[in-house]
Amino acid sequence: MVLDAPLPGCRSLDNLRAPLTSNYNNREQENASMTVKPIPDGFHTVTPYLVVDDIDQFLDFLKAAFDATEKERVPSQDGRTGHAEALIGDSYVMMGRAQDEFPALPCMLYLYVPDTDATYVQALAAGATSMQEPVDMFYGDRNAFVQDPDGNTWCIATHQEDLTPEELAARAKEFMQ
């Protein structure tokens, strides 16, 4: 069946299209006059996105263990936190709540800090489990490893010395023997 006229009480399609097109074109013109950065201020090219079971608990851990600052918390339809962002030092960490199609996915993060030993102790006090106590490594960093309550591994590091490629190769060879 083809309708030659709109149904009673309904606007014609042309009447519906005009305001939508007009609003869309106005937004396009407004956006064209604004410069949007492809990488938001404060973010780096690569940003960790962790999938965890309980974002609120994870944020509490990040604040206690690594002095993170909460930057954003977005509730999902069920009222629980579905997405959040935290700033650790100068780097953002994004997180989403695990779901059936996106289960919790532990990962490893390398975290540079001014004092490996102090941050290691702080992380343990916040509920992390020790995987390796602080130790000086052949590549010039002091490292400690902890696992957070969600199963993510954090390599806590303080850079102690700059090495030339030749020095690094010699130390690596000696370390591997």
Report if residue 162 sits inside a domain. Answer: yes
- Is the per-residue pLDDT at 1 higher than 60? no
Report if residue 34 sits inside a domain. Answer: no
- Please, how many CA atoms are within 13 Å of residue 146, restricted to the half-sphere of its CB? 25
Measured in degrees and rounded to the nearest 5, phi and psi for residue 43 equal: -95, 155
For position 120, which CATH number holds? 3.10.180.10
Report if residue 18 sits inside a domain. Answer: no
Report if residue 126 sits inside a domain. Answer: yes
Report if residue 59 sits inside a domain. Answer: yes
Q: DSSP alpha helices (H): ranges in the chain?
A: 13-33, 55-66, 116-125, 165-176
The pLDDT-based confidence of 34 (bands split at 50, 70, 90) is: confident
Report if residue 6 sits inside a domain. Answer: no
Measured in degrees and rounded to the nearest 5, phi and psi for residue 50 equal: -100, 140
What is the per-residue burial (b if ≥16 Cβ within 10 Å, else e) of 107-144? Answer: eebebbbeebeebbebbeebebeeeeebeeeebbbbbb
pLDDT at 8: 40
Whether the CB-CB separation of 138 and 171 falls below 8 Å is answered with yes
pLDDT at 26: 55
Three-state SS at 136: strand
Domain that holds residue 172: 49-176
pTM of this structure: 0.78
The Cβ of residue 149 has, within 10 Å, a number of other Cβ atoms equal to 17
pLDDT at 28: 57
Report if residue 44 sits inside a domain. Answer: no
pLDDT tens across 66-114, in order? 999 999 999 999 999 999 999 999 999 999 999 999 999 999 999 999 9
Whether the CB-CB separation of 133 and 127 falls below 8 Å is answered with no
Report if residue 166 sits inside a domain. Answer: yes
Whether the CB-CB separation of 119 and 97 falls below 8 Å is answered with no
Number of structural domains found in the chain: 1
Q: What's the rounded mean pLDDT across residues 154-160?
A: 98
